[in-house]
């Protein structure tokens, strides 16, 4: 075993590797590491929203079906208990390092998203560094957070490791069983696929399944539900991982889950920014977020105490802290969440230092800082676990279609999360902490209660970065000569603790007189620039960087005025066509995101804050709304049916079927319209337009439908 000693006083602000630094310059940060450029981030979404460059995004947070349905929860809980009675299975789970994660999985996965809080957090994500860049520094969701929350293993074999011949045979058994389900299950035939719920029912109820195959089916479902949760996840993509786990192969699942969350954050962030490039400034877009964002919600609650719901610490189960938050719920306003995120005093750098009931800490946690000498095979496993947390590396994730991808992991940018002092981060390089070159190296493991500080060189570097970042934003997004208050200010004494972003709702004067004066000042500047260039341009308050926040509005929504008077405006025809194109794009987004997919009704589905329920006063359309909840939430309807029956006396049950049929017809027409193109005959387009006009006469909102058909009609 490696020798261990208390960390001497001179290492109160240690680099990670105390001796032989030249051998390990990528393990966290060393003052001797090459310095990265101050301008390391792209434009943050939170700043683009404030400047009016993009609109706030709409995030649809998915929830795995087993977390919504009481029946599925109960079946899964009973299945876990039944499988845990098999000593062979328990032995394999322990070998694979997933025993604790599985045993608590049946009770600790009901995480309810605080929607506006997570949407606010999205704005600080930087896809260049894979970190949240707050005004006071960087922070990140890490494998340590996943390990503490779920007990998933930190280290192990890679996701894309090639299967042996024996493992491939076991995988083939799952493939055959999946095809068998598709043929014999009526529900699978109707759906045209094997969903996770169908999989669960099959493996619980089917008698002609041996223990080996049932174990494989169990692990596949667990991976789909708790490790790689996604409504789009194909079960077949998890067969290989399930096979390896069933044989006791330890796989680095915690880093994989982190990589998946980084990947989803990057996709959403880049999509929001791309709306700016497409000049689509009115909307940040509509996006589906994976159920794995429930883990990110737990990260927020662990580290931002002000945003936490009230919960009982008695919920703890062994080493799995996620049970603390299961079933908890709170709702926070977007602007309030922004204010909290921008105040470093709200952030807890080492939340897991708090000893709580029935929770076993990871082995590298210790009250005192220690120095451990790495001695090859004699070094305890927990030392390598800790090394994996503080080493720059590429984390491998698994997409819903089975593709393995990599995401960069930069612990040198948030060293304080591990108890180290924060120095200037170096250029990213993969570091192999299992290499023989680190044998004999001394590693400092900070005490669990130790909080790192900012080094002087880092404070100077950070000020340089923030100054450069603000200048870049001015050049890219602000009219020449326009005045701004700035995005944030660093404390005058070099202490970043008290610095906050300036452009928050409480820093903006909301009186009508003040807003009018500032608006007129900006308009005057733009008019002068317009006269100089003699180039026809179109302006809006978003382009002028004027952010009008109505402080009396309950949800603090950003409200933008119309384009300034005295400027060229778009012609009415051109403006209408532009609006119609926007409606068409929105409709196409609905289809792409699956909002027009028929959903089965289940009376046992519990109401969750993740999916907003859609209520309708219309007594006839509620059934359709329940089958297409997201679609009718984004395109609400309020029909009057005046032209449908025209005073005819019809039995109420017949009337109900006729009126309900109109709701379904609307969805069907939308789908038909999306299938049309320039090759569709004009007569077919006219037929669909005629049906759309009939629905419009009965009070239905068909703007998206007509816009799509008119677009095709103009091409003929």
Chain segment 79-107, per-residue pLDDT in tens: 999 999 999 999 999 999 999 899 877 66
CA 196 and chain centroid, separation: 21
The rounded distance, in Å, linking the Cα atoms of 465 and 39 is: 6
**Cross-strand pairs, 288:** 60
Which of 5-14, 110-119, 148-157, 422-431 shows the lowest mean pLDDT across its residues? 5-14
| Average pLDDT over every residue of 319-325 | 80
Residue 313 has a pLDDT of 56
pLDDT at 40 over 90: no
Classify residue 53: in a domain, yes or no: no
Q: What is the mean pLDDT of the chain?
A: 75
Of 76, 42, 34, 46, the residue nearest 217 (C-alpha)? 76
Is residue 242 classed exposed, middle or buried when 0-12, 13-18 and 19+ CB atoms within 10 A define those classes?
Answer: buried
For residue 103 the two structure tokens come to 């045993």
The partner residues of 317 in beta bridges, in order of sequence, read: 320
How do residues 47-79 score in pLDDT, each as one tens digit?
A: 888 887 887 777 887 665 555 456 788 888 899
| Positive or negative: CA dihedral 590, 591, 596, 600 | negative
CA 159 to chain centre: 22
| Segment 227-284, tens digit of pLDDT | 988 665 568 889 999 999 999 999 999 999 999 999 999 988 888 877 665 554 445 5
- For residue 161, being part of any structural domain is answered with no
Predicted local confidence at residue 584, as pLDDT:
85
Mode of pairing for the β-strands spanning 370-373 and 4-6: antiparallel
Number of folded domains that form the chain? 1
In 206-248, which ranges are continuous DSSP H helix? 211-222, 239-246
DSSP-assigned letter for residue 133: E
Q: Are strands 370-373 and 442-445 parallel, antiparallel or unpaired?
A: antiparallel
* Weakest-pLDDT range from 135-144, 322-331, 535-544: 535-544
Q: Kindly list the strands in the beta sheet with 125-126, ordered across the sheet, starting from the edge strand earlier in the chain.
A: 125-126, 131-134, 137-139
Beta bridge partners of 372: 4, 443
Beta-strand pair 58-61/286-289: parallel
Mean pLDDT of 479-485: 45
pLDDT of 716: 64
Q: What are the beta bridge partners of residue 61? A: 289
β-strand pairing of 286-289 with 370-373: unpaired
The answer to whether residue 168 scores a pLDDT higher than 90 is yes
What would the mean pLDDT of 2-16 be, rounded to a whole number? 35
Closest CA to 417 of 638, 678, 18, 131: 131
Distance CA 455, CA 532 (A): 48
Q: Do 271 and 263 meet the contact criterion of CB atoms below 8 Å apart?
A: no
Q: For position 27, what pLDDT does the model report?
A: 37
pLDDT at 9: 31
Give me the pLDDT at residue 613, please: 45
What pLDDT is stored for residue 292 in this prediction?
Answer: 84
Query: Cβ neighbours of residue 385 under 8 Å, at least 6 residues apart?
Result: 147, 154, 155, 362, 363, 364
Least confident stretch, 119-123, 386-390, 599-603, 706-710? 599-603
- Give the single-character DSSP code of 426: B
Q: How many helices (H) and strands (E) does the chain have?
A: 25, 10
Question: Which range among 552-556, 581-585, 593-597 shows the weakest confidence by mean pLDDT?
Answer: 552-556
* CA nearest neighbour of 68 among 468, 427, 616, 606: 606
- In DSSP terms, 454 is beta-bridged to 422
Eight-state DSSP code of residue 713 = H
320 located within any domain:
no
Listed residue (101, 512, 487, 572) closest to 319, CA to CA: 101
Domain assignment present for residue 366? The answer is no
354, pLDDT greater than 80:
no
Q: Please give the pLDDT value at position 80.
A: 92
The pLDDT value given to residue 494: 34
Domain assignment of residue 653, yes or no: yes
| Mean pLDDT value across residues 688-711 | 90
Establish if 687 belongs to a structural domain: yes
Query: Structure tokens of 363?
Result: 């082995």
Q: pLDDT exceeding 70 applies to what percent of the chain?
A: 70
End-to-end CA distance of the chain: 79
The least confident of 56-60, 292-296, 345-349, 508-512 is: 508-512
For 353, list phi and psi in degrees, rounded to 5. -75, -15
Is the pLDDT at 572 greater than 60? The verdict is no
> Strand 393-398 relative to strand 137-139: parallel, antiparallel, unpaired?
unpaired
Residue 456 CB coordination number (10 Å) = 10
CA atoms within 13 Å, Cβ hemisphere of 570: 13
Domain assignment present for residue 61? The answer is: no
Residue 713's pLDDT is 80
Q: How confident is the model at residue 16 (pLDDT cuts 50, 70, 90)?
A: very low
399 in any annotated domain: no
Q: What is the mean pLDDT of residues 586-592?
A: 76
| 477 pLDDT above the threshold of 60 | yes
Give me the residue label for tokens 């789009």: 232
Cα distances (angstroms) measured from residue 564 to each of 475, 515, 521, 522, 524: 22, 13, 11, 10, 10
pLDDT band at residue 598 under the 50/70/90 scheme = confident
Give the pair of three-digit tokens for residue 31.
């003052």
The span from the CA of 364 to the CA of 155, in Å, is 14
Whole-angstrom Cα distance, residue 704 to residue 581? 9
Two tokens, residue 653 = 């049950």
Cα separations in angstroms, 232 against 501, 594, 611: 38, 10, 17
Pick the range with the lowest mean pLDDT from 93-107, 402-416, 650-664: 650-664
What does the pLDDT look like over 502-526, one tens digit per residue? 333 333 333 334 444 444 444 444 3
Name the residue range of residue 635's domain: 616-714
State both tokens at 666: 């609307």
* Tens-digit pLDDT profile for residues 174-225: 999 999 999 999 888 888 888 888 999 999 998 889 999 999 999 999 999 8
């Amino acid at each position: 075993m490696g020798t261990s000693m208390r960390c001497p006083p001179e290492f109160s602000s240690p680099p990670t590797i105390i001796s032989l630094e030249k051998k390990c310059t990528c393990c966290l940060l060393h003052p001797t590491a090459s310095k990265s450029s101050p301008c390391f981030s792209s434009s943050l979404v939170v700043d683009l929203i404030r400047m009016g460059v993009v609109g706030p995004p709409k995030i649809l947070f998915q929830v795995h079906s087993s977390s919504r349905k009481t029946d599925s929860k109960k079946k899964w809980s009973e299945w876990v208990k039944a499988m845990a009675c098999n000593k062979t299975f328990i032995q394999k789970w322990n070998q694979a390092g997933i025993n604790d994660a599985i045993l608590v999985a049946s009770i600790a996965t009901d995480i309810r998203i605080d929607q506006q809080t997570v949407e606010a957090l999205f704005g600080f994500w930087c896809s260049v560094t894979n970190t949240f860049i707050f005004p006071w520094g960087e922070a990140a969701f890490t494998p340590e957070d996943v390990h503490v929350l779920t007990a998933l293993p930190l280290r192990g074999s890679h996701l894309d490791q090639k299967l042996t011949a024996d493992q491939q045979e076991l995988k083939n058994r799952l493939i055959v069983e999946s095809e068998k389900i598709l043929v014999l299950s009526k529900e699978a035939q109707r759906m045209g696929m094997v969903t996770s719920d169908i999989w669960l029912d099959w493996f619980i109820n089917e008698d002609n399944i041996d223990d080996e195959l049932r174990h494989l089916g169990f692990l596949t479902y667990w991976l789909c539900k708790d490790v790689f949760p996604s409504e789009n996840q194909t079960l077949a993509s998890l067969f290989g991982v399930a096979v390896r786990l069933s044989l006791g192969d330890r796989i680095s699942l915690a880093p994989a889950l982190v990589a998946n969350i980084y990947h989803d954050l990057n996709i959403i962030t880049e999509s929001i920014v791309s709306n700016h490039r497409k000049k689509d400034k009115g909307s940040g877009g509509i996006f589906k977020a994976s159920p794995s964002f429930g883990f990110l919600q737990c990260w927020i609650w662990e580290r931002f105490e002000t945003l936490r719901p009230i919960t009982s610490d008695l919920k703890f189960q062994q080493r799995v802290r996620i049970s603390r938050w299961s079933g908890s719920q709170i709702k926070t306003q977007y602007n309030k969440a922004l204010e909290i995120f921008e105040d470093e005093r709200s952030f807890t750098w080492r939340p897991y230092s708090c000893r709580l009931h029935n929770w076993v800490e990871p082995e590298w946690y210790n009250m005192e800082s220690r120095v451990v000498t790495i001695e090859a095979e004699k070094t305890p496993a927990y030392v390598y676990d800790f090394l994996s947390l503080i080493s720059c590396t590429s984390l491998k994730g698994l997409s819903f279609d089975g593709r393995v991808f990599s995401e960069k992991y930069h612990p040198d940018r948030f060293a304080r999360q591990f108890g180290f002092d924060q120095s200037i981060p170096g250029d990213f390089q993969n570091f192999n902490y299992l290499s023989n070159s680190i044998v004999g190296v001394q590693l400092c493991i900070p005490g669990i209660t130790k909080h790192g500080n900012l080094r002087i060189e880092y404070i100077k570097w950070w000020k340089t970065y923030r100054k450069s970042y603000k200048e870049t934003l001015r050049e890219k997004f602000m009219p020449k000569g326009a005045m701004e208050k700035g995005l944030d200010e660093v404390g005058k004494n070099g202490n970043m603790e008290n610095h906050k972003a300036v452009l928050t709702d409480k820093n903006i004067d909301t009186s009508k007189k003040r807003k009018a004066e500032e608006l007129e000042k900006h308009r005057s500047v733009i008019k002068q620039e317009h006269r100089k260039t003699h180039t026809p341009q179109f302006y809006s308050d978003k382009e002028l960087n004027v952010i009008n926040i109505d402080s009396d509005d309950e949800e603090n929504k950003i409200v933008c005025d119309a384009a300034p008077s005295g400027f060229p405006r778009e012609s009415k025809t051109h403006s209408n066509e532009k609006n119609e194109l926007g409606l068409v794009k929105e409709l196409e987004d609905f289809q792409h995101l699956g909002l027009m997919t028929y959903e089965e009704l289940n009376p046992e589905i519990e109401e969750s804050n993740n999916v907003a329920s859609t209520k309708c006063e219309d007594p006839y359309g509620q059934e359709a709304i329940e089958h297409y909840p997201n679609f009718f939430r984004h395109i609400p309807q309020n029909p009057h049916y005046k032209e449908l029956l025209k005073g005819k006396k019809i039995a109420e049950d017949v009337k109900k079927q006729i009126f309900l049929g109109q709701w379904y017809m609307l969805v069907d027409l939308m789908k038909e319209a999306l299938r049309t193109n320039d090759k569709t005959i004009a007569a077919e387009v006219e037929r669909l337009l005629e049906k759309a006009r009939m629905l419009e006469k009965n009070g239905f909102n068909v703007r998206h439908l007509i816009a799509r058909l008119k677009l095709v009609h103009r091409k003929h």
